[in-house]
Amino acid sequence: MIGVDFIFNNQMLSEYGMQMLDPENEQTWVNREIDKSEITSVRPRPNHYGTHYADTEKLDFLIMRDDEKYGIENMELSRYDINKIRTWLESPKYPTAFELIDDDERKVIYYGIVTDVHPFLVATRCYGIYFTLTCDSPYGYSQPIKNTLSYDSTADVNAMRLHVHSAEENEYIYPKITFELARGYYGAETVTVTNSNDGFKCMEVSFPYNARKIIIDCQKKLITDGSGNLLPLESVLTPEGTATSSPYLSMENNSYYWLRLKPHENNISFTTDNDMLNYATIEYQEIIKAGGF
């Protein structure tokens, strides 16, 4: 994989005086497998249940010193250089954001762990490092997209219209939502978020006492306050089907509805009981199937 630069573990490759080169191996994309039943004597055509990816994305890299900076005669890496670079790449033990930069633009973000690190040797001397980024998904993501609504208590409807460009037409995207109450107001406020493009399903959020700001991660199903403290789900969310403002829902084992975005149009509306909401922010990343390009 080749690009101008990349950001990983809070540092850029160019900060180490290194550049990306072609690893000269075949770039493969992740295969999809079909989920289906067996063919039998009475069922010549199997029942189909969908598909799944056979693996996650694996991206191969070769990094070497920048010859324009060091000169062709100073390309060998010392033990100190190797240790410093390996420490940077191999320290994260959990999937970490890997931002590929191409033509001076931050493009696709992958989330993964660096694996299969080995040297590029010429006459037993190390002139570069090969490594593989083993991603935690079969695809990459866009830069975070953030939409903020300043709540207007005099408006008939407070809403934001989101158009999601996703490479997975049949998958939801689960955003991160931030709510903040008006200054000087803490707790005792309920906000109902409805996506009319998702069957008018709604998420009813109640601010705990003494909380002015809450962050809801709909992907990880975590709720925190402005200080990063975890909040119990039952103290913030109303179970699906019991929200007073949602006659469209039915109880599903007392489950919680987490706001989700469909590909294409999403009309998200916000209603409150005391009109003390200051702003609401919805942040998400679109799916991109760049496949290492």
- DSSP string for 187-218: S--EEEEEETTTTTEEEEEEPPTT-SEEEEET
CA distance 2 to 85: 18
141, 167, 166, 136: which is closest to 56 by C-alpha? 136
User: Is 61 part of any domain?
Assistant: yes
- The arithmetic mean of pLDDT across residues 20-40, rounded, is 85
132, 168, 143, 141: which is closest to 27 by C-alpha? 132
User: Is 235 part of any domain?
Assistant: yes
The reported pTM is 0.82
Degrees, nearest 5: CA angle 18-19-23: 120
Q: What pLDDT is recorded for position 242?
A: 54
- Phi, psi of 97, deg, nearest 5: -65, 130
User: Is 293 part of any domain?
Assistant: no
Give the residue with greater pLDDT, 112 vs 55: 112
Residues 153-194: tens digit of each pLDDT: 888 889 999 999 999 888 899 999 999 999 878 777 899 999
Whether the pLDDT of residue 252 is over 50: the answer is no
Q: What pLDDT is recorded for position 253?
A: 45
CA distance 291 to 57: 7
Q: Residue 183 sits in a domain of what CATH number?
A: 2.60.120.860
Can you spell out the DSSP letters for 41-102?
SS-SS--EEEEEESS--EEEEEEEE-HHHH-GGG-PPPHHHHHHHHHHHH---S-EEEEEEE
Which residues span the domain enclosing 183?
Answer: 145-287
* Count of domains forming the chain: 2
Q: Residue 63 sits in a domain of what CATH number?
A: 2.40.30.200
Q: What pLDDT is recorded for position 170?
A: 87
Q: What pLDDT is recorded for position 260?
A: 95
Please state, rounded to an integer, the average pLDDT across all residues of the chain.
88
User: Is 292 part of any domain?
Assistant: no
Asked if 152 and 123 sit in the same domain, the reply is no
How confident is residue 195, by pLDDT bands cut at 50, 70 and 90?
Answer: very high
Asked if 29 and 136 sit in the same domain, the reply is yes
Asked if 173 and 236 sit in the same domain, the reply is yes
Q: What pLDDT is recorded for position 186?
A: 76
How confident is residue 245, by pLDDT bands cut at 50, 70 and 90?
Answer: very low
Whether the pLDDT of residue 240 is over 90: the answer is no
Whether the pLDDT of residue 250 is over 50: the answer is no
Whether the pLDDT of residue 231 is over 50: the answer is yes
Asked if 261 and 211 sit in the same domain, the reply is yes
Give the residue with greater pLDDT, 253 vs 174: 174
Residues 88-137: tens digit of each pLDDT: 999 999 999 999 888 756 678 999 999 999 999 998 999 999 999 999 99
Degrees, nearest 5: CA angle 124-129-131: 130
The percent of residues in the chain predicted with pLDDT above 70, rounded, is: 92
